[in-house]
Structure 1
Amino acid sequence: MTHDDVRYEIRGSAAWITLNRPERRNALSVELLDGVAAALRDAAGDRAVRSVVFAGAGPMFCAGADLKRVLGELGGAGVTEFLRRAAALFDQVARHPQPVIAAVHGGVIAGGLELVLACDLVLATRTATFADGHARYGLFPAAGGATRLPRRIGANRAKQLLFTAESWSADRMYEAGLVNEVVDDDRLVAAVQELTDRIGRLSPLGLARIKDVVETGLDRPLDDALGYELRACEEYATSRDFAEGLRAFADRREPEFVGE
């Protein structure tokens, strides 16, 4: 897949999707949203891909929506349509079958933060900063920010970010629970590669089932969620990967998963 605003490349078992508008701080445009959606479809259809990484070209991960361009191309009424498209893309990220990792450096703001919130894991450089920013201009975080942020860091912390438009450090976001690991700036790529290599050795089918159960369970009463978890396990137990895992455990060797 090639697209001017998005770079797609395979590194080991991971598909790297890089937002590639550094001159606009990787701001989200219609073309960029379409490019990311296409890249995700390519990754989902590639059996060799075990995880997906989002990164940003240049000095910043993502500055949010390119409102100047959106207004110029779609007009004021088109902003709502753009938000619908962005929300649909972020839902696609959240529901993507492979684990999705955000590799954050520089700053991440507004729509960029909403993209990060849709990812499963977040690694960030020590100098990275996070902000919602919508309230600064009387805007609304309608692509998942007002819903996903409190689920990731709790309602009180989320309200502080949403109501003040202030910027938080990577260390503070780690303490809040959004960031999984903070690394030195020159260690980000290596740390992400280590993580994707580890994920790449596991069952892609098993991880997809786990991700589905975690995401689905958040929206269900506990008894329903536990029942869904058991049914997912029963289904996975009929797979080749499940049988391979049991054999490898009995043989005291590393399993070789095929995703079936």
Structure 2
Amino acid sequence: MYIIEEIANGVCTLRMNRPEKFNSFVRDMALDLQGKLDNASSDDSIRCIVLIGEGKAFCAGQDLAEATDPHGPELTAIVSEHYNPIIQRIRRIEKPIIAAVNGVAAGAGANIALACDIVIASESASFIQAFSKIGLIPDSGGTFFLPRLIGWQRASALMMTGEKVSAKDAEQMGMIYKAVAEEDFASTIEKTAHMLAQMPTKGLGLTKRALNQSLSNNLTQQLDLEDELQSQAGRTHDYQEGTQAFLEKRKPEFKGH
């Protein structure tokens, strides 16, 4: 099983499961992840998704043995059929997605992590734009997300040099949300995912939609969008519950709709 799925308390954990290959992708693994993301998207009981790697690595990107196999998929198919659909799903699913980077995240593995809503890494983890080492360009949204996260100069340098970035350095430059001590990593992921799964999922999804569209909207367009989405949020059960709980000075019980 390439992707291990665990569902508990509103959290769907998707565990990439090729530890002997540092969770590098082959075609069946990419398609399995796409299918598992679709299932998590359509299941209303799931209110948060966690993506993590089995073993010592998060994901080392593409398995080069498959990419160079004369009987395997062509490079263009690997990008267009394997990785692009994963990135599109991560951004389209209107539920919070946490990348729990437990080890090295290289190539497409790094950029899959950066496409997620919240990236939390173990201090022992690292991020590598490894594409230049083999004469390729960053794919899986790397050239889109990384400059927006850390700026043009840093992104350009990291992509061209293939320099390894530690989790702490990634946090300091704004590439990720947080780097935590290895002994606290599992509990931090569990606590964060549980918290998000109890929050107003519809509102979080609309926030994600607004962030997505902010990447191409001008200010006027974004203000109009905020107006529209705020109206939608104001019609949700969770808005009514949140305001009522505030007035009654109690903890809200959000339902996710």
Instruction: Quote the sequence identity (%).
Output: 29
Deviation at 1:126, TM superposition (A): 0.9
Specify the code of the residue in structure 2 equivalent to 1:24.
K
State the match for 1:238 in structure 2: 235
Deviation at 1:151, TM superposition (A): 1.2
| Counterpart selection for 2:35 from 10, 34, 38 | 38
Deviation at 1:71, TM superposition (A): 3.0
State the match for 2:78 in structure 1: 82
Q: How many residues align?
A: 256
State the match for 2:101 in structure 1: 104
Q: Check the 8 A contact 1:91/1:118 in 2, yes or no.
A: no
Q: Does 1:131 align with 2:128?
A: yes
Larger deviation: 62-71 or 12-21? 62-71
State the match for 2:118 in structure 1: 121
State the match for 1:256 in structure 2: 253
State the match for 2:67 in structure 1: 70
CA RMSD of aligned residues (A): 1.4
Q: Check the 8 A contact 2:122/2:181 in 1, yes or no.
A: yes
Specify the code of the residue in structure 2 equivalent to 1:185.
E
C-alpha separation between the residues in 2 aligned to 1:198 and 1:18? 20
Deviation at 1:11, TM superposition (A): 3.2
| CA distances 1:186-214 after superposition (whole Å, capped 9, x unpaired) | 22111011111211221111111111111
Runs of 4+ in 1 over 3 A off after TM superposition: none
C-alpha separation between the residues in 2 aligned to 1:59 and 1:133? 18
C-alpha separation between the residues in 2 aligned to 1:105 and 1:197? 18
Deviation at 1:29, TM superposition (A): 1.1
State the match for 1:14 in structure 2: 11
Which consecutive unaligned segments of at least 5 residues does structure 1 have?
A: none
C-alpha separation between the residues in 2 aligned to 1:102 and 1:138? 27
C-alpha separation between the residues in 2 aligned to 1:73 and 1:181? 41
Specify the code of the residue in structure 1 equivalent to 2:74.
G
Deviation at 1:74, TM superposition (A): 4.8
Q: Check the 8 A contact 1:84/1:143 in 2, yes or no.
A: no
State the match for 1:27 in structure 2: 24
State the match for 2:162 in structure 1: 165
TM-score with structure 2 length normalisation? 0.95
Which consecutive unaligned segments of at least 5 residues does structure 2 have?
A: none
Q: Check the 8 A contact 2:100/2:189 in 1, yes or no.
A: yes
| CA distances 1:74-105 after superposition (whole Å, capped 9, x unpaired) | 55x71111111211211111221110101112
Alignment of 1:93-242 (within 5 A): 93-242=90-239
Q: For 2:148, what is the secondary structure of its paired residue?
A: helix
Deviation at 1:155, TM superposition (A): 1.0
| CA distances 1:42-94 after superposition (whole Å, capped 9, x unpaired) | 2112222111111001111111101211332655x711111112112111112
Q: Check the 8 A contact 2:114/2:176 in 1, yes or no.
A: no
